[in-house]
Structures are given as C-alpha cells and as structure tokens.
Amino acid sequence: MKIAVYPGSFDPITKGHLDVIERGARMFDGLVVSILENSTKKPFFSTEERMDMIRKATSHLSNVTVDSFGGLLVNYLKENKYGFVLRGLRALSDFEYEFQMAAMNKRLDPDIEIVFLMTDINYSYINSTMVREVIKFQGNVEEMVPPETMDTIKTKYKGEIHENHRTAQRTGKHLKRRDPCAFFIQGDGQYGGGPGDHTGDHVVVAG
C-alpha cells in the first residue's frame, strides 16, 4: 500500500488544507494528516483540538487518518514505514521554502518521495496565520475553514475574548482592534493591515 503523510501545524485546518487532503486521498491508498508538535511555538489551538477539527473535516474520507509527531519528519516516516510526503503549494514564496525542506529531507533519507500539489486557486490566499488574525480581530472566517470546525473555533474565540478581558482588567490595558502588524476585516469586507506571516502552517525538519 502507498501511504503518504501530510504534515503541518493546521492551526487551524483551512479549506486550502482540506483541498489538498481530498486530492491526496484520491492519489494514495492511505493518507495520514499529522500535526507537527513544535516545542518552540505556542499554537492557538491545542494538539487535541486540531486533531478533532481535522477528523471532523475529513470524516467523509475513509482512507484518511489523523496523527501527531515531534522531532524529525524522516524519523517519523521510518518508524511508521511511510514512504511519501504530501505538501501543498500556494504561491512562489511557498515553493522556495518547500524546496529547501524537501532537499533536506531527501538528504536525510533518499528513499522518501515528496509530492507537491498546487492549492486550488480559490484558496491560494488562505493560510492558518491569516485565519488566526481574522479570528483575533473578530472577522468572519466561515469562507476560509471547513464548516465542521466552526463550533470549535467559536468556542475557542469566546474563551480568548474572556481571557483578554480579564487581562485588560488586571493590567488596565485594552487590546487595540487594529494592530498595524495584523490582518483584520474592515467594514467593507476587505482585508487591511500589514503583511502576514506565510510560515504559519509550514512543517519544519525538526520539532
């Protein structure tokens, strides 16, 4: 059987991710969507929350499973006898980073094969970092994430609002709605703010 791993942070899973998962599921006998647990980053959603959202979003795909790992991707592949890595590409900026990671992983294990899929153009502008910023500034992300994930996102968002309110009460500081370094949804529905971080859902060689 040909089993591929689709690694990433998925914080949260987006419609762009789901597009790649659905197409990858048709290409391979089995597809493992595996969350990279990176100790140097503090995710917005916990590993358990992300795994649950992915399971809900992929419940219609019988050959897709969800897992998590830490450390080197190549070690995870060897331990589980997986031979393929699936990655999505949104733009040219993604390719440069992904090419470097692919070259490093091939150097570490020449036997693995890395397959790239271009994300559907309708989702090419979406990344997890942008989604988190829109959530943070009370924008609507329903067009960016699978509908099955919205309950989890809304629950998490409400928790963040309450925590921010408590922090503001303790410190006397109130959050600014329009951070110049963040994306937000304006009244006309357009994006505003500064440049986004395009590395939010990239997998790194080591955790």
Write out pLDDT tens, residues 141-183.
Answer: 999 999 999 988 888 877 564 455 455 556 655 444 433 333 3
pLDDT digits (tens, 9 = 90+) for 104-119: 999 999 999 999 999 8
Detail the residues annotated as belonging to a binding site for ATP. Answer: 9-10, 17, 88-90, 98, 123-129
Number of domains the chain is built from: 1
User: Is there a catalytic annotation at residue 90?
Assistant: yes
Detail the residues annotated as belonging to a binding site. Answer: 9-10, 17, 41, 73, 87-90, 98, 123-129
Beta-bridged to residue 50, according to DSSP, are none
Exactly one of 15, 34, 50, 128 is catalytic; name it. Answer: 128
Q: How many other CB atoms are found less than 10 A from the CB of residue 117?
A: 16
Q: What is the pLDDT of residue 194?
A: 34
pLDDT digits (tens, 9 = 90+) for 13-50: 999 999 999 999 999 999 999 999 987 778 999 999 99
User: Is there a catalytic annotation at residue 17?
Assistant: yes
pLDDT digits (tens, 9 = 90+) for 177-203: 433 333 333 333 333 333 333 334 444
CATH number of the domain enclosing 136? 3.40.50.620
Q: Report the distance separating Cα 124 and Cα 16, nearest Å.
A: 7
Number of DSSP helices (H) and strands (E) in the chain, helices first: 6, 7
Beta-bridged to residue 134, according to DSSP, are none
pLDDT digits (tens, 9 = 90+) for 62-102: 999 999 999 999 999 999 999 999 999 987 778 888 999 99
Q: What is the pLDDT of residue 109?
A: 96
Exactly one of 15, 90, 132, 202 is catalytic; name it. Answer: 90
Domain residues for the domain of 202 are: 1-207
In 3D space, the residue among 90, 92, 74 whose CA is nearest the CA of residue 82 turns out to be 74
User: Is there a catalytic annotation at residue 202?
Assistant: no
Q: What is the pLDDT of residue 168?
A: 52
